[in-house]
Structure 1
Amino acid sequence: MYSKIAINNVKKSFKDYTIYFLTIAFAVSIFYSFNSIGAQQAVIKINNSTEDYIGLIQTLMSVLSVFVSFILGGLILYANNFLIKKRKKELGIYMTLGMSKGKISKILLFETLIVGILSLVVGLLLGLLASQGLSVFTAKLFEADMAEFKFIVSGAAILKTILYFTLIFGILMIFNTRIVSKYKLIDMLNAGRKNEEIKIKSPIVSSIIFVFSASILIIAYYLVTKSGLNPTDFKFKASIVLGIIGTVGVFFGVSGFLLGIIQKSKSIYFKKLNIFVTRQLSSKVNTNFISMAVISLMLFVTIVTLSTGLGFKNAVEAGIVAPFDASTKLFTDESSKYQSVEDIMKKVNHNFNDDKYIFFNGYNLNGVEIADILKPYAVGEMKKRIDAGKERWGYVDAIKISDYNKIRDLYGERPLTINDDEVLVLSNYEGAKESVKNLIKAQGIVDINGKEYKVANTEYLSEAIYNSSIANNTLTLIVPDNLKENMELACAYMDVNYSNPNDPKEEANMIATFDAINGRASQMGNFNSDRDSEDLSMLPSINTTKQSVYADNKGMTTIILYVALYLGIVFLISSAAVLALQQLSEASDSSDRYKALKKIGATEKMINKTIFKQTVIYFAMPLILAIISSVVGINVVNKFLSMYGKSNIVPTSLLTLGILIVVYGGYFYVTYTGYKGIVKNSK
């Protein structure tokens, strides 16, 4: 009997369940899609490094899903609370007819079960489609072969999704039972007559709070612009705290502030039903200012992460400097046992084949600081950072001209010559580029140990001297071979280009050697001494191949991108769903007010326009503030990325706009039509 009543209730109230159903279906779809990443290895051809990173992404998504499940669980509880609140009067009538609270709880349990199963099924079907798109997206990110692509279903992801959402609905059923047990009959029957409590009644007080909070936000924007994306900077930390306080304060006072302004404009305030719209919004925003602030902050995070996530990946990947098939940077000094990479390679019996190797040393010029050389020529962010004096730049690195010409030979470039009183400057750090160009243009002078050396560059030199995942050479001096004073040995380098880059054996040979050097292999040829293995494994060195640099970079940036996408979409759905539920709750609470409007002559068209205005403004308020904050946030992120490579956010911004239109706009439309339906059907 109870199941039959529940089915009839769901059929009768299907429109009321639309937001609830839509939210759960979206949540299930997203949850399944991001937890099915591991299954994508079966449909795209990937190398071992990529396979490792996909496994890491899968593990991270599993951990992150625990956090996401709390967000989605809270959202579902919030949506369920709206439905219970809306049906208080109906439940009260059940009680007056003699139905016990236990029986009412059973009906709600069956209703929850029916809607939950339907939402889970639809969500999984949507997730199956979305996961295929995610497979294509993953393949493009890793530049994998899609020749064997086929439709695939992840049984593990389906089981995990069902398990998590079963737990959520189990908690929901307990929650419903407790809520019903606490309700009093008089409260249920009079639910529609209670008004929202207005927190602030004085427009003057509201205006003061609004202006003060807006000022705090402006200060937060200024601080984060000055500090940049630097979590260790006090200004950055202060900007986050002030940003949160300012956002809450803005929504705490905005309704009274706008009410005061509109009331002064009689032509607007008394036009048609504007007075009703103004009062409705004022009451609702006053009541929900905290949730509005949280929604705005979540939308801010969503817009920034979605807009800059792919741009971040592209910028960082564009900043890779790996011109050699393999390279090593050994951190050493005059007292070290090993001062040459060549000696180490021979120690582990590396097979040199016919590859083209170069070995050279790098030095620190004691007493010669980067900031001192660049300060007269610095511009932009570099000038700000040098003038601030808070960043430790350190002494200048140097390599000899003969060694530099070895590097140029690997590049296929002609050798350069300098006089004994000249130096060349080398830099590939994007943030220092213009400053170094100014130094070259001015043919600046560099003081080394009391002797002046003229900068002899005829052009900006930016060759990398070893493989690196980031172009971070701020300034290196190419000095004459006879310069010896205060030249302190700091590094030993090796660069190599394979004789046959397309032969996988070449890469395997080099990786095996690096494994031996790093202590991951204790035997290569006659190299089987545990003591020698331990000595080598303790060496501080960076050993990379071109393939490993690109694979590692793609893997790490893809992980960051997936986290941004996962959280961004979840935050967006949660924000839109909460706004929708609050508006529909407002419609249920205000049904008597709309009846009164009809009685005094308001037409259905006028009422629909009123509903449209109210819904648009309510959805727009947190979005507008989020967009304003996002402009500042995106600008800060772009400045940070510009130090490593150019970032084009136009495509990702358009993608973010599209997602906002589909999800946020979709929830707005469903809310508007649902609001109209509630008002129209109220009796």
Structure 2
Amino acid sequence: MMLFKLSTRNIRKSMQNYLIYFATLILGVAIFYVFNALGSQTVMLKVSSNTEEIINLMNEAMSVVSVFVSVVLGFLVVYASTFLMKRRKKEFGIYLTLGMGKTQVAKILVIETLLIGVISLVIGLLLGIGISQGMSVVTANLFEADMTNFQFMVSTSAIIKTIIYFAIMYVIVMALDVIIVSRAKLINLLYAGAKAQKNHAKNPVVCVLVFIIAAILLGTAYYKVTAGVRTISDFQGLGIQIAKGIIGTFLVFWSVSGMLLAIVKRCRRFYYKGINSFSVKELGSRINTTVFSGGIICLLLFFTICILSSAMAIRNSMNHVLETCTPVDVQVSKLYSYDAAEDYDITGHNVEENLKSCDIDTSKLTDVTEMILYAPEEIRVGDFFGKAFAESGSEDYFKEASMETMHIGDYNAFVSSFGGTTIDLAEDEYVILCNYGEMEPRYNEGLAEGQTVTIKGKTYHPKYSTCVDGIVHISNSGVLLVPDSVDMSDCDFWYDIYSANYNTTDQTEVDALNEYYSDAHFYKLQEAKTEAALDEDGSYYSMNCETSKRLRDNSVGLTAMIVFIGIYLGVVFLISGAAILSLKELSEAADSKEKYRILRRIGVDEKKIRHSLLAQSGVFFAMPLLLAIVHSVFGMQTAMFILTAFGRGGLLGSILLAAAVILVIYGIYFVITYICSRKIISE
């Protein structure tokens, strides 16, 4: 009982030390619960069977990610506990001096860890349960689900999982604390507070040279992942740039601590004003002793910015793709394949006849259009690229691939069926449709150069200097539109695309039609019928049916998975980086208490001391964030290049939203750290 009272008194007395520890544990528990409770929250949502399968897959993915997250949080909890142990070694030494045994001291630590763990778990779970209700609304919005059955819900399985994972962390922490106390010598415990971390002065000239090396490493890496991104052809090349970025980051932190004092000393008016000289030396000392942790924090913040921004950008980009690429309710694509020596006569083999031969009901369809995409041998994809792309060795595939080509009349008939914008072409003009971001700049460069194309001896010029964001089928990576007068009779057929809308607006009937055209029996029946479509000339066709609902469900499911995992990892990395930085700041404040006592003795007022501490803490927190932002400016350009596979748009808004999340959480840690540091130096 006495040990329990002593433990509770110690926690109350050392609350300024435990505040960051408490905040980190509570946020960790809450985040862990929220994302592991998604499975239970989505049970209440009314969704289609296809969406339900995607949600189940997402929940399985979240379970796998949670294992990684638990490891990250585990290391963070151990690190924070180690910091607290260093702060309290003298206290434990006094206990031993007063006659306590190491076993009793170990029991105090076990009781304290259990109390902190239980309190953090309870508060964190309550916070997580509250946040998870809002997360249900976000989930329903992402999956476009019906929330008529929504109710306040607590996930028992998520609570049990959270308790188990964090209980394991606490057991490890208790074991390490007991080992540290049992092996420590009394003399080392008593004089632990007098042993400040050594701070070796650095030669400013060496620091400048190291900073130049760091700038070269980072500058070349920045160039390679932006302007030179197309020269990176494999993961090894990308890995080299990542390694240069990591090494450059650590070298920047190593060099800045030595350069800072030398540079500021030259600004004599500033350096000798008030206690600025003290503040600058203290700040240089802090940076000097946190080179490794500062680099790690910077990289964690960089990953956080990129992960959060990219995850949210994918959501916005996919929304754009879905709005533009699903204009009709159902689309059947008939793909032709050929024997190399033969052509295929399509006469009498249109898609509607194929559907009827497969006993597929088309009576509920209206606004039916059918268009043919050709594969002319004389027109290659690479013919439309600009000089820079065309001369690149990585474009050999495109120099051989045939360009999808169709008549402008077929395209205009299709877009007219859903109120789209038609295009007028002169007899010597062409247009390229493209909504696939990675291909668009290649075409645009060629179009801007006025790239011409020759078809059967006649030359055609581009109508526009850029691609048209038109739609023929999903992920349209380039379709050439030519005048109807162009003779394609001797060209191979590539696609026969059959598009239609439902002739009803009744939601029950629409749902039934979506299920009918997406159901597995449709594909089984189709496969059985079309396998017999192999002709004597060696050519055959295969068919694929997609509904806009199915495409939306699949795209939304992928988007939701990426968004949730991105937010999950991003917030955990952010908490980890901010917590490590806070603990280092508190440790430095504890080591500098005597210096602040001396300042008070020589007459420095409390306001100037607090202002000095605030400036030091502000710069200390800002440095990793600023360098992470610089990294992100270039890293996000690479992310934009990669994200073109998902569409376009929404990146700026995503970056601003991610910045707001980072500033809120990072700012909370900064404020708590400053308040706790101020209490420490006032002891």
**TM-based fold match above 0.5:** yes
Q: Which residue of 2 aligns with 1:497?
A: 501
What is the 5 A alignment of 1:499-578?
499-502=503-506, 504-505=508-509, 508-509=512-513, 511-512=515-516, 515=519, 521=524, 542-578=544-580
Question: Which residue of structure 2 aligns with residue 628 of structure 1?
Answer: 630
- Taking the aligned partners of 2:680 and 2:482, their CA distance within structure 1 comes to 75
The Cα offsets for residues 465-484 of structure 1, whole Å up to 9 and x where unpaired, read as 23x1x343354546547433
For residue 672 of structure 1, what is the aligned residue in structure 2?
Answer: 674
Contact 2:405 2:479 in 1 (8 A): no
Aligned to 2:434: 428
1:365–1:171 distance in 2 versus 1, CA, 3 Å: same
Letter in 2 for 1:190: Y
Report the Cα distance in structure 1 between the residues aligned to 2:128 and 2:54, rounded to whole angstroms: 22
Partner of 1:369: 380
Going from structure 1 to structure 2, the CA distance change for 1:532 and 1:514 (only over 3 Å counts) comes to farther
Number of matched residues? 664
Cα shift at 1:256: 0.4
Give the corresponding residue for 2:356: 346
Task: Give the AA of the match of 1:398.
Answer: T
Which residue type is aligned with residue 294 of structure 1?
Answer: I
CA distance in 2, matches of 1:239, 1:165: 37
8 Å Cα contact 1:330-1:492 kept in structure 2: yes
Q: 1:69 to 1:384 in 2, by over 3 A?
A: farther
Whole-Å Cα distance in 1 between the matches of residues 518 and 576 of structure 2? 48
Whether contact under 8 Å (1:224, 1:235) holds in the other structure is no
C-alpha separation between the residues in 2 aligned to 1:622 and 1:185?
38
**2:373 aligned with 1:333:** no
Name the CA distance, whole Å, in 2 between partners of 1:541 and 1:483: 22
> d(CA) in 1 for partners of 2:12 and 2:361?
75
**Residues 324 and 199 of structure 1: is their aligned pair in 2 closer, same or farther, counting only changes over 3 Å?**
farther
Hey, what does 1:483 align to over in structure 2? 488
TM-superposed deviation, 1:508: 4.0
**Cα RMSD after superposing both structures:** 3.5
Structure 2 unpaired stretches of 5+: none
In the alignment, does 2:312 pair up with 1:310?
yes
**Structure 1 contact 401–479 (Cα < 8 Å) conserved:** yes
SS in 2 for 1:395: coil
In the TM superposition, residue 464 of structure 1 has moved relative to its aligned partner by: 2.2
When residues 229 and 67 of structure 1 are mapped into structure 2, their CA distance, relative to the original with a 3 A threshold, is: farther
Deviation at 1:55, TM superposition (A): 2.2
> Which segments of 5 or more consecutive residues in structure 1 lack a partner in the other structure?
376-382
Range with greater deviation from structure 2 (235-244 or 291-300): 235-244
Amino acid at match of 1:179: I
CA distance in 1, matches of 2:31, 2:14: 26
What amino acid is the match of 1:322? Answer: T
Quote the offset at 1:440 in angstroms. 8.2
Structure 2: distance between partners of 1:87 and 1:568: 32
In the other structure, the counterpart of 1:21 is 22
* Partner Cα distance (1:238, 1:643) in 2: 24
Instruction: Report what 2:186 is aligned to.
Output: 185
Aligned to 1:130: 131
Conserved 8 A contact 2:407-2:481: no
Q: Which amino acid letter does the alignment assign opposite residue 448 of structure 1?
A: I
Residue 287 of structure 2 is aligned to residue 285 of structure 1: yes
In structure 1, the partner of 2:471 is 464
506 and 533 in structure 1: CA distance in 2 versus 1, 3 angstrom threshold: farther
3-state SS in 2 of match to 1:17: helix
Q: How does 1:117-516 map to 2 (within 5 A)?
A: 117-198=118-199, 201-228=202-229, 232=233, 236-320=238-322, 321-335=325-339, 341-342=351-352, 344-356=354-366, 357-375=368-386, 384-391=388-395, 392-393=397-398, 394-400=401-407, 403-404=410-411, 406-408=413-415, 410-411=417-418, 424-429=430-435, 431=437, 445-453=452-460, 462-466=469-473, 468=474, 470-473=475-478, 475-477=480-482, 480=485, 482-485=487-490, 487-502=491-506, 504-505=508-509, 508-509=512-513, 511-512=515-516, 515=519
For the Cα contact (< 8 Å) 2:93–2:189, is it kept in 1? yes
| Contact map agreement 1:351 1:509 (CA 8 A) in 2 | no
**Structure 1, residues 572-603: CA drift from partner, whole Å, max 9, x if none?**
11111111101111122222232333333333
Alpha-carbon contact 1:340-1:493 (below 8 Å) kept: no
Deviations 1:406-432 (A, max 9, x none): 53553467999989x756434033657
Instruction: Report the alpha carbon displacement of residue 294 of structure 1 after superposing the two structures with TM.
Output: 1.1
Give how far 1:668 is off: 1.0
Greater mean alpha carbon deviation, residues 305-314 or residues 552-561? 305-314
Give the distance between the partners of 1:231 and 1:440, measured in 2 at CA: 25
Query: In 2 relative to 1, CA 366–295 (structure 1 residues): closer, same or farther, beyond 3 Å?
Result: same
The equivalent of 1:648 in structure 2 is: 650
User: In the TM superposition, what is the alpha-carbon distance from 1:331 to its structure 2 partner?
Assistant: 2.9
Aligned to 2:55: 54
Residue 260 and residue 412 in structure 1: after superposition, are their counterparts in 2 closer, same or farther (change >3 A)?
closer
Could you tell me how far 1:326 is from its partner in structure 2?
A: 1.1
Alpha-carbon distance, 1:628 to partner: 1.6
**Identity across the alignment (%):** 34
Distance, in Å, in 1 between the alignment partners of 2:181 and 2:217 is 43
Query: Which residue identity does 2:361 align to in structure 1?
Result: N
1:87 lines up with 2:66 in the alignment: no
For residues 76-120 of structure 1, the C-alpha deviation after alignment (integer angstroms, 9 at most, x for no partner) is: 111101110000100111111222222211110000000110011
Q: 1:197–1:503: structure 2 CA closer, same or farther, 3 Å change rule?
A: same
Find the aligned partners of 1:104 and 1:322 in 2 and give their Cα distance. 68
The C-alpha deviation readout for 1:152-199, integer Å capped at 9, x for no partner, is 211111111111111111111111111112222111111122232335
Question: Residues 428 and 462 of structure 1 are in contact (CA less than 8 Å); yes or no, is this contact kept in structure 2?
Answer: yes
Residue 367 of structure 1 aligns to a residue whose secondary structure is coil
Tell me how far apart the structure 1 counterparts of residues 385 and 251 of structure 2 sit (CA, whole Å): 44
Instruction: Say if 1:398 and 1:478, in contact at 8 Å, map to a contact too.
Output: no
1:362 alignment partner, SS class: strand
1:209 and 1:59 map into 2 onto residues whose CA distance is 46
- Would the alpha carbon gap of residues 560 and 227 (structure 1) be closer, same or farther in structure 2, given more than 3 Å must change? farther
Q: Please report how far the alpha carbon of residue 303 of structure 1 lies from its aligned counterpart in structure 2 after TM superposition.
A: 1.9
1:318-344 deviation line (CA, Å, top 9, x unaligned)? 023112211122332244999754454
Cα 1:442–1:499 shift into 2, 3 Å: farther
Separation (CA, whole Å) in 1 of partners of 2:300 and 2:598: 37
Distance change (3 Å), C-alpha of 1:416 and 1:10: closer
AA paired with 1:452?
T
SS at structure 1 position matched to 2:454: strand
In structure 2, relative to structure 1, the CA distance for the partners of 1:374 and 1:181 (3 Å cut) is same
Aligned equivalents of 1:293 and 1:534: distance in 2? 62
